[in-house]
Amino acid sequence: MINVSNARLQENIKEGLQFMAIPNIDPAEIAKFSELSAHWWDTQGELKSLHDINPLRLGYINEKTNKLAGKTVLDIGCGGGILAESMARMGAHVTGIDMTEAAIQVAKLHQYESGTSVDYLITTAEQFALERPGQFDVITCLEMLEHVPHPESIVKSTARLIKPGGQVFFSTLNRNIKSYLFAIVGAEYILKMIPKNTHDFAKFIRPSELSEWIRQSGLTVKDITGLTYNPFTKEYALGSDVAVNYFMMAQSPTCS
Ligand code: SAH
């Protein structure tokens, strides 16, 4: 007779071994973000767009979580800490993980200037899910999924890391003609808002794909919100247009 908990344990071990054997990391992406690391906190530099969208996304997360203050938050792919620090400033207890060592060093150093106290670690979501399952009220994973070989594995890891009833926030780029024109041709080549080759169109993710991975992980999609950029006013806005950049918020089931 098969013991269910043993079967689950076996499955966990097998997956853990798979994660270790095939790390979900693209070395070219890590090299790219290492090169950018020195510019992470330059609000007018190559990562300007992340600084520009941060107040909007912070407001969105704070509203959907009914206030971040006091919550235990994990930021996956935190980079130099733009979002992680801002959530800590709102009173959240934030852990930031990233596989670009140079970005984590920048994030740690920046805390001396800003006086925040985020716990920064160099690790993968998959590894962290083995070490700290079920420990976070809120998980954020913004502008990161399109930079890894197996984004569905990140989604699965968030389902393990989140507490029952907790909320997981993803943001990424949709895959269609409009997102190609706006996020690659417009942002990288015409307006030069971000460095060339920041994004690979083939790795963009349709909301239908992300929501399917979320469902397969046992989480439930609760909200989809678009993020748009108006090149004439140079302003970003949240709304129903998910054609280019979008947020997806998911919730884990509460304990029965
Ligand atoms: N989430 C941050 C940074 C986005 S840039 C923000 O929105 O402000 C994408 C980040 O993903 C980079 O910091 C890069 O180092 C990180 N990243 C890429 N592959 C990763 C991986 N396999 N594991 C963890 N982080 C990764």
Domains assigned to the chain: 2-251 (3.40.50.150)
Instruction: Determine which residue's CA is closest to atom 4 belonging to ligand 1.
Output: 143
C-alpha 76 – ligand 1 centre gap (Å): 7
- What is the Cα–Cα distance from 163 to 20, expressed in whole angstroms? 24
pTM above 0.85, yes or no: yes
- What is the Cα–Cα distance from 173 to 146, expressed in whole angstroms? 7
What per-residue confidence (pLDDT) applies to 2? 47
Nearest to 252 by CA among 144, 151, 136: 136
Phi-psi region of 235 (alpha: psi -120 to 50; beta: other; left: phi over 0): beta
What per-residue confidence (pLDDT) applies to 20? 52
Q: Which helix (H) or strand (E) holds 230?
A: strand 220-230
Q: What is the percent of the chain with per-residue pLDDT over 90, rounded to a whole number?
A: 81
Instruction: Determine which residue's CA is closest to atom 12 belonging to ligand 1.
Output: 79
Residues 27, 30, 31: CA angle, nearest 5 degrees? 85
CA 16 to chain CA centroid, nearest Å:
21
C-alpha 5 – ligand 1 centre gap (Å): 34
Contact 74, 140 (CB under 8 A): yes
Ligand 1 nearest atom to the CA of residue 80, by list position: 13
Residue of 147, 170, 246 to test ligand 1 pocket, by largest number of atoms within 8 Å of CB = 147
Instruction: Determine which residue's CA is closest to atom 17 belonging to ligand 1.
Output: 77
The DSSP call for residue 126 is: H
Write the pLDDT tens digit of every residue in 188-197: 888 888 888 8
In tens digits, the chain (256 residues) has pLDDT values of 445 556 666 666 556 555 555 689 999 999 999 999 999 999 999 999 999 999 999 999 999 999 999 999 999 999 999 999 999 999 999 999 999 999 999 999 999 999 999 999 999 999 999 999 999 999 999 999 999 999 999 999 999 999 999 999 999 999 999 988 888 888 888 888 888 888 999 999 999 999 999 999 999 999 999 999 998 999 999 999 999 999 999 999 997 5
Ligand 1 lining (C-beta closer than 6 Å) = 24-25, 29, 33, 50, 77-79, 82-83, 98-100, 103, 124, 142-144, 147-148
C-alpha 77 – ligand 1 centre gap (Å): 3
C-alpha 117 – ligand 1 centre gap (Å): 19
**Mean pLDDT rounded to a whole number for the chain:** 92
Residue of 118, 144, 148, 247 to test ligand 1 pocket, by largest number of atoms within 8 Å of CB = 144
- Runs of H (alpha helix) within 121-205: 125-131, 151-161, 177-179
